[in-house]
Structure 1
Amino acid sequence: MNKIAYIYETASGSDHMARTAANGFKNAFVEMGDSFRFFDLDKLKISYWPAEKIKLTNFNPDIIFTAVENVRYLPLNILQPASLVLLGSFYSPCNYDDRIRVLTEKAKKVLNRYSSRHNILICSPYNQQINAQFFSGYETELGLKVIQLLHCINKTKLTDPILKPEFDLLWLGNTTRRLTAYKSLIAPLKKEFSNFLEYTQHNMIDPEIVESENLYARACILPNLHTDAQVKYNMLLNQRLFTAPAFGGFQICNNTFARKYFKEDELVIATESSDFIEKTHHYISHPEERVLMIKKMQDNLLKNHTYVNRVNEIMTALG
């Protein structure tokens, strides 16, 4: 049995994606018979109050999960040798998206200092080409291993699709970073279909409400638009591509990179407005076909894209 320490901002103000990942990994490790405990990053940052650091060292974890920038807050000098599974920032600068964060010099120094004491693994959700171009410095300069770790689902929250949902469309997303796609794909859909729900940065909805009120399944079509950079450079697949079908939702996606992992009878891909509209009409008028595709997508997710799958990939990489 391994002892797993998962470190993030545990306060209620932490973002939904972080909480989802934390609980997903917890469920997977507990299912596998391991001991799992959360530790609060904010408390670890407090230098004058070492209580959380003491708890962490007393727990004596075999594996620590956190983001790579958080390593400077860990008591690595007094912890017993452990495996560190770190969500990696870009090692090299990248101008594809202004949200991309590059590894700080402070974090780089900590990694370099403790790479021989701890078994350090860098995880990236990006495709292999992006990793080779912008993450390879972890390997060549610091001697660390980098793996691709796609988003995934919590299999305990699988939801059956609805044959006849009450809404035609549900659009969720920040339009700022998808402006080109929004104007060319979503705006025409809104003119074509009046029975839709829309939540943007201007009327944000809590993702937990989306899930608790089963909004994914209550709409026939969920347009899934990746950012302009994600589409242009095939950077990654967003989390919703995995979670929406798990909650019974049917997506039409604009990212052709998704075809690498999901077949034509599982996921619809459209990149042109006319194609988006045509496919939306088709699947609204063919509910049995839509439901069958959701179920096939769910089967794929359960087989290949659960937190248990990701844990197994991590354990294999750690050796």
Structure 2
Amino acid sequence: MREDVKTYYGETLQKSEDLQTNACCTGEMPPEYLKPILAAIHPEVHARYYGCGLIVPEHINGTTVLDLGSGAGLDCYALSALVGEQGRVIGVDMTEQQLAVARAHIDYHREKFGFKKANVSFLQGELEHLDKLDIPDNSIDVIVSNCVINLCEDKARVLQQAYRLLKPGGEMYFSDVYADRRIPTALAKDPVLYGECLSGAFYWNDFHNTAKACGFLDPRLVKDAPITIENPALKNKCGNIRFFSATYRLFKLPELEPFCEDYGQAVIYKGTIAEQPHSFSLDKHHHLPTGKVFPVCGNTWRMLADTRFKPHFEFIGNWDTHYGIFDGCGTALPYDTQTAGGEAGACC
């Protein structure tokens, strides 16, 4: 399938309009602060964009960001504006044609964003074999990826490599396509469905278990939306399988517990992250209003106290007393299945 993917994204697809489904097209509107940055990105880079989400984590100024499956570089260039001239963005992709487009516009974006030197670079490689690239262990602050891990045959190895590269307290913030059941083998081998980011989709429960086995002990769903398949022939092939685009946060925090435990702790968000002055959204179930005491489980406490977010919170409590399971972290099913047949979510 790897060669099929290279051909599909290097030769078959020349622009986003060539896609046969909307699985790899971001339908959500970008936040206001991101719109002028996206408007400054070169039209050729825009034309070859294939992504199912907005992978723009908060508070990344001055950080080192790694984009897995960077394609023609749109996400890399948007992130380069946000990390600033003191930050760094590294894109990795296996498709020569996509990398050629990305590399051709490095100086264009350096000038657009007013940098004296470029803060973006691109490497050719496979996501399962990041160990073959010159990226040191524990050197990356944030890893992003946009609708690419579903195209990898060994998804567990991708997550293992990501965990190895992240600094302690680092974060993997990524969007991808997920299914509500395991994909039948016959569909998984369909080159068009695979290239369209559908038949390689993780069954969500397998993803959660795999992420935990790779060291990401408490996957947090940030947002999700059902994917519609407008192509009748491909929709018929998929039958009753439901697909979702979803964004997750995975933290490299080995102290996290298997369940959300209650220690009577709380946090207060200071409102000091520029992108979220009035409230901070850690995930789908944690929207923290500025200035309000917000009870949290031990895992959520660590995700805020032991990461780049620490300066933006006040912390109340300690680890002296345990009160059992915390009941404020959401339900067992991650996606809003009530809207799975609706129109929400992903369209170009």
Instruction: Report the TM-score, using the length of structure 2 for normalisation.
Output: 0.29
| Larger fraction in strand | 2
| Larger fraction in helix | 1
Structure with the bigger RCO (C-alpha within 8 Å, sep 6+) is 2
